[in-house]
A and B are shown apart, each in its own frame.
Chain A
Amino acid sequence: MFRLLVEKELREIIGTTKFAVTFGVCSVLILLAFYVGARNFQVSQAEYEAARAANIKQMEGLTEWTRIDHRIFLPPQPLATLVSGISNDIGRTTEMRTQGELRSENSRFNEDPIFAVFRFLDLEFIFSIVLSLFAILFAYDAINGEKERGTLRLSFANAVPRDKYILGKLVGAFLALAAPLLIPILVGCLMLPALGIPMNSGDWGRLAMVILSGYLYLGVFLTLSVFISALTEKSSTSFLLLLVVWIFAVLIIPRTAVLVAGRAVEVPSIDQVNYEKNRFMAQLWQEDREKMQSYSEDNPRSEDGDMQAWMEGFRKFMDELGTAREEKRREFGGRLNEDRRNREIVQQRLALGIARLSPTSVFSLASTDLAGTSLDLKQRYADAANLYQQTYAQFIREKTGQSGGFMITMRTGNEDEKPPEPIDPYEMPAFEFQEPSSNILVNEALLDVGLLMLFNIVFFIGAFVAFLRYDVR
């Protein structure tokens, strides 16, 4: 009987015009998302390679390491093609320095602001907005619609257990919505290697989990729709209620969460922090200028003295001064950054905690975690850049004998001397951004995948209990 009920539900939904429209729209959107995502990745990859090559090229011909203008770049992530997350919002280029704080710039949205207005059409968007609405359209009248048609009375005039009936409805509705989506998703997956997206086994596994999370997310709206349909008498009422719930889940709760957290936990702006840092640096410079003045007075340069030796002494003095200043700056800046970061973490936790009331937020968090494009991407890139800065500083120190920052280059000699050899930029350590392992990313997503399951279970139980008490007359 259960199979019969599932079959009926499937056939009833598949036979409708709304199903044909849904299937058509979803197929086009999903395939478009895969294609556009893959093309974007290709473009981003080409831009990334070109930027790296240009970075090396502009160093060619230089003869001094102190003069290089080195930049590092965040490589595009394969799964960002389907779940862009914050990958388009964060700066992908970082000017590398041996000292000082690193800043990332040139985000995709910064370069192409039009995309910031309308965002990208990716798989997460399609699931979050389009498919969730379709899930409601498929199931808003699951129970009360049957009552309105008189088929509920007719069905229960037979020896039909209610639990089997509701289970059949839920499974049938889920299959009717989920099965056809598999076709465009599978075609899209086949397109990825064909379009040159370098997917490894970990990426495929995580993509499978993104799709699973998407289905769980659809399950939330399906079970919720059946639940509300079993609580209301008229299908028009349940549709209206579900629309309100959808608006809250998709639009209101995530935004409100950020607003509430922003009010509750104050985080100083980057400008404020930078202002404090600049003020401190200005103070340090003032102190150092005085020390430099004292150095000149204490170590006067005699007319007939050894200029080379004096300069060497001055360079050493400046180097020590620079190192001490950098240490103070690092300590002060680090303290401010840490304080800001701690507040930011509290604010984010609060925002995400509230946002998780909405299944849409939960799905977004799960999918971006899995794709490696969550909020953590920014920090991971910053950490990788800071780590690279140390390697880079060490390399420059080895090459120049100076610790960086305020570097002095003195050259003495005569015209017969051989011109200096150009530097070899390829000697420089390469910046490699390592995405965390799939295990780590999956672990990060587990909480939200679990929450999606919980939503499903709660609404399923709700629908089940409501239907057991439902007046079928």
Chain B
Amino acid sequence: MEPSTHMPEPTGKPLLEAIDLTKRYEDGTLGLDHVSFSVAPGQVYAMLGGNGAGKTTTINLFLNFIEPTEGEARVAGIVTHKEPLQAKEKLAYVSENVLLYPNFTALQNLDFFARLGGKTNYTKDDYRRVLLRVGLQEEAHNRRLRGYSKGMRQKCGIAIAILKDAPAILLDEPTSGLDPKAAFEFIHLLESLREEGKAILMSTHDIFRAKEVADIVGIMNEGHLVMQRSHEDLVGEDLEKLYVEFMAGYMEEVA
């Protein structure tokens, strides 16, 4: 099935590209079926879909945690399954429900992951600035994460991704665990990252946030990209209604 597509003109060479990306698991399950899309610098792409739709599979393919059965995932033109280490240098990642190292403080966690990402010249002040930017209070910076709430840990995870300063960012359910205020702040953070020219691919269940921040919204169902719309196309549209319609339409087509 071809997705219903109304796309904005690309603003630059895509940093994230899925080209006929297909993943069939060893047990025969089709995780992703010939999915193609691209995310240019300064664009936010939101993948919507239920559980098992293929959102996390797509992100895993970009991270080369799994290899595609067909097609390619590219980061800044680098095919991820062929040159994974080079591709990962261009990627930052925020995972859903990351616990990080509970015996490390926020600063220690940031320091480790920043250095792991090749950033060795940051100071503690840099870490503090980023933590404040993601909304983590200063008094928490030197506390061990074992006492953190889910939302506080998520903020740390986002700070780690920001520190890497990679041109492309993958966000897997980034607002999961955030309270409404923190989710609101996160949207502003995404907007500022977009302004910095980052290409952002975000998987989410949150239709409201997706419509608010995304330049492109893709709806996925059972491994298929069933709809793709630009932000402009969605102005005045009820995305929730569209989502339900496209999901239902797809189900009918399959039936």
Contact = CB atoms under 8 A, between A and B. Distances in A.
A12 B108 CA distance: 10
B104 A154 contact: no
Contacts of A154: 93, 95, 98, 100, 113, 157, 160
Interface in B108-162: 108, 112-113, 115-118, 144, 157, 160
Contacts of B104: 11-12, 15
Interface in A1-40: 1, 4, 8, 11-12, 15-16
Contacts of B92: 157
A155 B88 CA distance: 11
A151 interface: yes
Interface stretch (A158-166, A184-192, A232-240, A260-268): A158-166
A158 B66 contact: no
Interface in A415-473: 471-473
Given A8-B112, A11-B104, A150 B60 contact: no
A153 interface: yes
A238 to B, nearest CB: 18
Counting chain B CB atoms within 10 Å of each CB, which of A154, A157, A472 scores highest? A157
B160 A159 contact: no
Given A4-B112, A159-B86, A159-B118, A153 B95 contact: yes
B101 interface: yes
A157 B100 contact: no
A411 interface: no
Contact of A155 (B60, B108, B116): B116
Given A4-B115, A160-B116, A153 B86 contact: no
A162 to B, nearest CB: 10
B161 to A, nearest CB: 9
B98 A153 contact: yes
Nearest to A149: B99
A310 interface: no
B95 A159 contact: no
Interface residue SS majority, chain B: mixed
Contacts of A473: 60, 65-66
B118 A157 contact: no
Contacts of B65: 153, 156, 471-473
Contact of B117 (A148, A151, A158): A158
Interface residues on A, range: 20 to 34
A151 B99 CA distance: 7
A274 B143 CA distance: 74
Contacts of A150: 95, 97-100
Contact of A156 (B63, B99, B103, B164): B63
Contacts of B108: 11
B102 A157 contact: no
Contacts of B244: none
Interface in B46-99: 60, 63, 65-66, 84-86, 88-89, 91-93, 95, 97-99
A178 to B, nearest CB: 20
A157 B88 contact: yes
A157 B93 contact: yes
A160 B115 CA distance: 11
A159 B88 contact: yes
Contacts of A160: 85, 88, 116
A393 B103 CA distance: 72
Contacts of B93: 153-154, 157
A154 B158 CA distance: 11
Contacts of B84: 159
A158 B100 contact: no
A156 B101 CA distance: 15
A158 B116 contact: yes
Nearest to B112: A8
Nearest to A472: B65
B244 to A, nearest CB: 30
Nearest to B164: A158
A149 B97 CA distance: 8
Nearest to B170: A157
Nearest to A8: B112
Interface in A350-395: none
B116 A1 contact: yes
Contacts of B118: 158-159
Among A4, A159, A472, the one with the most B-chain Cβ atoms within 10 Å of its Cβ is A159
A157 B91 contact: yes
A158 B88 contact: yes
Nearest to B102: A149
B100 A159 contact: no
B120 to A, nearest CB: 9
A159 B89 contact: yes
Interface in A107-165: 148-151, 153-161
Contact of A159 (B60, B85, B102): B85
B11 to A, nearest CB: 25
A4 B65 CA distance: 22
A176 to B, nearest CB: 12
Contact of A149 (B85, B100, B160, B164): B100
Given A151-B101, A157-B91, A4 B60 contact: no
Contact of A4 (B66, B116, B157): B116
Interface in B209-254: none
B115 A149 contact: no
Contacts of A472: 65
Contacts of A155: 113, 116
A8 to B, nearest CB: 5
A138 to B, nearest CB: 13
A161 B86 CA distance: 11
Nearest to B172: A153
A150 B100 CA distance: 7
Interface of B: 60, 63, 65-66, 84-86, 88-89, 91-93, 95, 97-104, 108, 112-113, 115-118, 144, 157, 160, 164, 170
Nearest 8 A-B pairs (CB), nearest first?
A157-B93, A150-B98, A15-B103, A149-B99, A159-B85, A159-B88, A158-B117, A158-B116
Given A15-B103, A149-B102, A158-B113, 19 more contacts: A11-B108, A15-B144, A16-B103, A148-B99, A149-B98, A149-B99, A149-B101, A150-B97, A150-B99, A151-B100, A151-B101, A153-B65, A155-B116, A157-B91, A157-B95, A158-B164, A160-B85, A160-B116, A473-B66
20 contacts: A4-B112, A4-B116, A8-B101, A12-B101, A15-B104, A16-B103, A149-B101, A150-B97, A150-B99, A153-B93, A155-B113, A155-B116, A156-B88, A157-B92, A159-B84, A159-B117, A160-B85, A160-B88, A160-B116, A472-B65
